[in-house]
Amino acid sequence: MARVAITHPMIVDAVIHPAELPHLAHRGIAEAVCVVFDILRATSTMVTALEHGVEKIIPAASIEEALLLKQRYPHAVLGGERHGDKIAGFQLGNSPLEYLDQRGATIISTTTNGTIALKACVGASVVLVGAILNLNALIKAINSLSPARLVAVCSGTGHGPALEDVWAAGALVEHFQTARCTDAASIALAVCKSHPNAAEALRASKNGRALQSRDKLKDIEWAERPSVLETIGIMRAGVIRKWERDF
Ligand code: MLT
């Protein structure tokens, strides 16, 4: 009897809390496209940097790792934040607006949550850098990849979840609702639906309020614009580059 290939709908999952990050290997990521969100601000900044000609971004989990990488890539620019501020001795902080004129640069980036989440996805079939800025481009990319599993990975803030990341994960899940959703994906979707738009969710979030109180409203205004960029970052062998591919 001829064997019939049975194609199952894509499983759609979400990682909502950063405490889940060390356990991603048990979430079937080897067959998954992982889309990492750190809306305020790491992944929004990375997508912006790549859109504006940055050649590559190397995420580092710690300041020490970033400084070691700098020895290997002496021409690289050190960027990132701790407690939202530029790190002493680094050239750039973590505002997307600081990355508009770094054409051709290699950036070594370390941030409190975003770069940790990206590195936790090593081992996934595909790791994409997600933002609200490139939501439509992500949807097109996922459709063309047609993976067995999609995992929206929320970086969180410190040791807790971040509303803006879960909102973005839910906005992605919304486009794949016919697929099999885990409870976590359904939770992200419910969070997304409970806010009228990205701007409202970002401003209501703890990160959003912290940035506003520190005179960084411009970073929120930049990151909250849905689908204004076509750029997607893809991480291969620990290095993020613009994904040069037509969908
Ligand atoms: C992070 O990675 O935790 C952030 O993006 C924080 C920030 O930029 O303020």
Look at residue 2 in the predicted model and tell me its pLDDT.
46
Q: How many CA atoms does the CB half-sphere of 23 hold within 13 Å?
A: 9
Closest atom of ligand 1 to CA, residue 40: 5
Closest atom of ligand 1 to CA, residue 38: 5
Ligand 1 centroid to Cα of residue 84, in Å, is: 6
Closest atom of ligand 1 to CA, residue 93: 8
| Residues facing 127 on adjacent strands | 34, 235
Q: Is it the case that residue 100 has pLDDT exceeding 50?
A: yes
Yes or no: say if 133 and 223 are a contact pair by the CB < 8 Å rule: yes
Mean pLDDT of 37-63: 98
CATH code given to domain 11-52+113-242: 3.90.1560.10
Q: How many CA atoms does the CB half-sphere of 119 hold within 13 Å?
A: 15
pLDDT tier for residue 1 given thresholds of 50, 70 and 90: very low
Phi, psi of 87 (to 5 degrees): -85, 140
Q: Indicate which residue's Cα is closest to atom 8 of ligand 1.
A: 41
Query: For the chain, what percent of residues have pLDDT higher than 90?
Result: 92
Ligand 1 centroid to Cα of residue 155, in Å, is: 9
Least trusted range by pLDDT, from 74-88, 175-189, 231-245: 175-189
Q: Is it the case that residue 4 has pLDDT exceeding 60?
A: no
Sketch the domain layout of the chain as residue ranges: 11-52+113-242
Ligand 1 centroid to Cα of residue 161, in Å, is: 12
Look at residue 9 in the predicted model and tell me its pLDDT.
86
Ligand 1 centroid to Cα of residue 93, in Å, is: 10
Q: Write down the mean pLDDT value for the chain.
A: 95
Yes or no: say if 184 and 16 are a contact pair by the CB < 8 Å rule: yes
Residue keyed to tokens 């790792």: 65
98 lines ligand 1 (CB under 6 A): no
Mean pLDDT of 52-81: 98
Look at residue 239 in the predicted model and tell me its pLDDT.
98
Query: Could you tell me the sign of the dihedral formed by the alpha carbons of 122, 126, 130, 133, in that order?
Result: positive
Mean pLDDT of 91-117: 98
Q: Is it the case that residue 175 has pLDDT exceeding 60?
A: yes
